[in-house]
Structure 1
Amino acid sequence: MRSIVPIAVVCLLGAASPAYADHTTDIRVYNRMDGSRLAVADNGTAEGARVISLRSPAWQYTTARWTVDERSDGYTVFKNELANKCLQPGTATPVAGDPLVIRTCDGSKLQDWSRRAEETYADAPTGWGTFRPRLNPNLAITIATWEAGGSWASLHLDADQNSTDRLWRLARGNNTWW
């Protein structure tokens, strides 16, 4: 009987899914430069669908809602609530210019993001920050090009800088802050 107990403990503790410190639903992710919000192009839910930033208030995509899992290892996972898929760079080795997509959540490091708080003169917290892919923390989610007459923007990864096109904040539902 003693040999069964350690095996059961290993099976229970050896789960492949990551441990989450905080799990928050109904989150909107806003950009500081233009107030746009993270969503999936054409309200898509398909594997590899492109992630964009909606600028026009007329565009009320249901894919603008995210579940944010802040993990105990310091990384964050963004899961699109409608698609039930996670945010990640478009390639397996993130470089500047890569688009953002959603893919089936698999617990990989490709779906991990770190947050760097906005740098201010007095180091005062602002609530804004950049989101950087774990596999290349020198990059950050960035507004790329305004599309469709400016009603939405394409996104890509670019150098992590303290500029408004790279600064984002989280808000729950229709609240202005998380």
Structure 2
Amino acid sequence: MSNTQNSSFSLLNQKEIDSLIGFLSEQKNSLDSDVLSQKSIDKLIKLISSDSDRIITDVFDPFAHVDNSVLATLGFREDVSQLCELKFSVNETTDYIILTAYNTVTNKELVITPNLINANDTTDWGCSISPVFFNRIAKVFSFKYTQQTHDAVCNCFAKHTYGDANHKIPEIYLPVNEKLLECLI
């Protein structure tokens, strides 16, 4: 914990501590016993003590239940050693995006849909997807993608979110450099 503390400021002031204790007291019947586990406390400290303007998006992982072995079950890839590229395109008729995985070893293609990740979801992504979410899909399934694909995802997202494909995208919607580099071909 010593590496997360900064002597120039306290992590929480008394009013924030009182508010947190009040909230936890009110919610104690609906909270699991592990709410204040050391892991949760460490995540909270990391979030509060971060000197970055970025919001830490990996604290709560919506993909925690997704197993990349689903691709082997579907007969798409035997294991993660087979390089698979995640591609991005737009359906000209519906204007919805299409995510396709391409296995460079077997030359197989697989359309990646929301219900592949969550069985209760839809078959369509919609008109855009945030670059950080696109990157997270690539990481979960151990896919790689090109800089050109990343740029296309960013342009589409900016166009549909801000009305201009060249609009600067706020950092909250972009993968951190380390995660981007892990996925780039």
With a CA cutoff of 8 Å and minimum separation of 6, indicate the structure with the bigger relative contact order: 1
TM-score bucket of the superposed structures, by smaller chain: under 0.3
**TM-score computed with the length of structure 2 as normaliser:** 0.25
Name the structure with the higher helix share.
2
Structure label with greater radius of gyration: 2
Please state which structure has a larger fraction of its residues in strand. 1
